Amino acid sequence: MPHWLAADYGRWRLFCLGEKEDESERMNKESEEGANEQGNVKSSKCGHMPTPAIVMNLSENEVNSLIQHLVQVFLEEGYSKQLFLWLYSVLLVVQKPLLHDVCASLRSFAKQCRLIRAMLTDDGSAAERGAPTTNEFSLFVALVSIYFEQKDLADHQ
């Protein structure tokens, strides 16, 4: 279980989500040119799943920082299934009442979820293609607005 500084955005991003797409492509080209290390690159670019063993062993400070980091990734890079798995997992263990910075991050996250959800049309095959569905975004809007008591962000007042 990693215990880096909670503020170490880069390491947490790499641990949870792996390398960014453009970094992965660069690494693949380098490994094809050099020694045959594609297996090592492949395992490092996909990140770790948020297993109970990992999530339950995070300190309160790490959970709070990780939420802010993951929201920042979402706002900068957009949706990914693994990102949403991590966000859901850390929201299960975050302590209430929320710190102001964590609350502000979650509010930004919920607002962005609402905007993206409004642009989506579920045609039934979105989940099969790995594309986000409106239900995924609705879940997070509901969690933030109801469980974390940000009622002004709720779909129904």
Residue 23 is part of a domain; what is its CATH number? 1.20.58.1070
Print the domain residue range for 146. Answer: 9-153
Q: Residue 146: which residues within 8 A CB-CB, separation 6 or more?
A: 154
Q: Is residue 111 part of a domain?
A: yes
Question: Is residue 70 within 8 Å of 7, Cβ to Cβ?
Answer: no
Q: Is residue 3 part of a domain?
A: no
Question: Tokens 């594609």, residue?
Answer: 38
Which pLDDT score is estimated for 157? 57
Please determine, for residue 94, whether its predicted confidence score (pLDDT) is greater than 80: yes
Which pLDDT score is estimated for 122? 66
- The model's pLDDT over 26-77, given as tens digits with 9 standing for 90+, comes to 445 444 444 333 333 333 478 999 999 999 999 999 999 999 999 999 999 9
Please determine, for residue 114, whether its predicted confidence score (pLDDT) is greater than 60: yes
Helical segments of the chain, H only? 9-17, 21-33, 38-45, 52-55, 60-77, 81-93, 100-119, 134-142
Q: Is residue 40 part of a domain?
A: yes
Please count the structural domains in the chain: 1
Q: How far apart are CA 40 and CA 95, in angstroms?
A: 36
Pick 89 or 33 by higher pLDDT: 89
